[in-house]
A and B are shown apart, each in its own frame.
Chain A
Amino acid sequence: GNSVTQMEGPVTLSEEAFLTINCTYTATGYPSLFWYVQYPGEGLQLLLKATKADDKGSNKGFEATYRKETTSFHLEKGSVQVSDSAVYFCALSSNDYKLSFGAGTTVTVRA
């Protein structure tokens, strides 16, 4: 079956530091890959997505590239801000429109 393995947190960074959250997946077929973000007290928001191999999703300074050869979709941001403090979820879609989520990574950015 489909599964997502996500880097365990929590991750604590200083402002302007480089952020990487690792995500690898197991899937049949050609799933779409997603990063969702959850701010305190809120639901999940779509951060970025990629639908096929070598696609790069990007939004708000975050980027992730769909790597089929390494079955990975690592999230990166070059310079984080305090406002990026949140929980980040990697996810993949299956043919039946369901999403499989990773366990989530809590990121805290200190001023």
Chain B
Amino acid sequence: EADIYQTPRYLVIGTGKKITLECSQTMGHDKMYWYQQDPGMELHLIHYSYGVNSTEKGDLSSESTVSRIRTEHFPLTLESARPSHTSQYLCASSSGTDTQYFGPGTRLTVL
């Protein structure tokens, strides 16, 4: 069973606040990913990392930023949250194979 954790699970915050969504995995996977899932359920890749100190933007442009200082940790930061950032954010990781394992997600609401 994959062990990948996301905190918080739910977050309601006011406009203009800085937030960090946490994602950690205990599997030693080198690759990690962030997806944004809209109300229609479609998934969009917004960031990915193939290893420590490596980060890339995904297919969907996002105002968020990520960092990868440790293998197991891949936090996502929004410097100034806006209502348009309201969404579900899913973190995933993978190793040598192409199978990705997902965390439970963070549901963000910006008022």
Asked if A72 is an interface residue, CB under 8 A from chain B, the answer is no
Residue in B45, B92, B104 whose beta carbon sits within 8 Å of that of A42 in the complex = B104
1/0 contact string of A26-60 vs chain B (CB within 8 Å): 00000010101010001111100100000000000
Question: Which of the listed residues B33, B48, B102 has the most CB atoms from chain A within 10 Å of its own CB?
Answer: B102
1/0 contact string of A59-98 vs chain B (CB within 8 Å): 0000000000000000000000000000101000100011
Contacts A104-B41, A104-B42; is A97 near B94 (CB within 8 Å)?
yes
Provide the residues of chain B in CB contact with A99, threshold 8 Å.
45, 98, 100
CB nearest to B100 among chain A residues:
A99
Provide the residues of chain B in CB contact with A104, threshold 8 Å.
40-43
Contacts A103-B40, A106-B41; is A42 near B99 (CB within 8 Å)?
no
Provide the residues of chain B in CB contact with A106, threshold 8 Å.
41
Chain A count of residues within 8 A CB distance of the other chain:
20
Asked if B90 is an interface residue, CB under 8 A from chain A, the answer is yes
Interchain CB contact under 8 A, B99 and A34: yes
Chain A binding surface, main DSSP class? strand
Interchain CB contact under 8 A, A101 and B42: yes
Closest CB-CB distance, B23 to chain A, in whole Å?
A: 11
Interchain CB contact under 8 A, A43 and B98: no
Cα A46 to Cα B45 in complex, Å, equals 17
CB nearest to B9 among chain A residues:
A41
Closest CB-CB distance, B41 to chain A, in whole Å?
A: 4
Interchain CB contact under 8 A, B105 and A101: no
CB nearest to B103 among chain A residues:
A43
Closest CB-CB distance, A105 to chain B, in whole Å?
A: 9
Closest CB-CB distance, B15 to chain A, in whole Å?
A: 25
Q: Which 7 A-B pairs have the closest CB atoms?
A: A93-B98, A43-B102, A104-B41, A44-B102, A101-B43, A43-B104, A43-B105
Taking Cβ atoms with an 8 Å cutoff, the residues of B that contact A are 6, 31, 33, 40-43, 45, 48, 50, 58, 90, 92, 94, 98-105
Chain A to chain B contacts (Cβ below 8 Å), 5 pairs = A36-B102, A44-B90, A87-B41, A98-B33, A99-B45
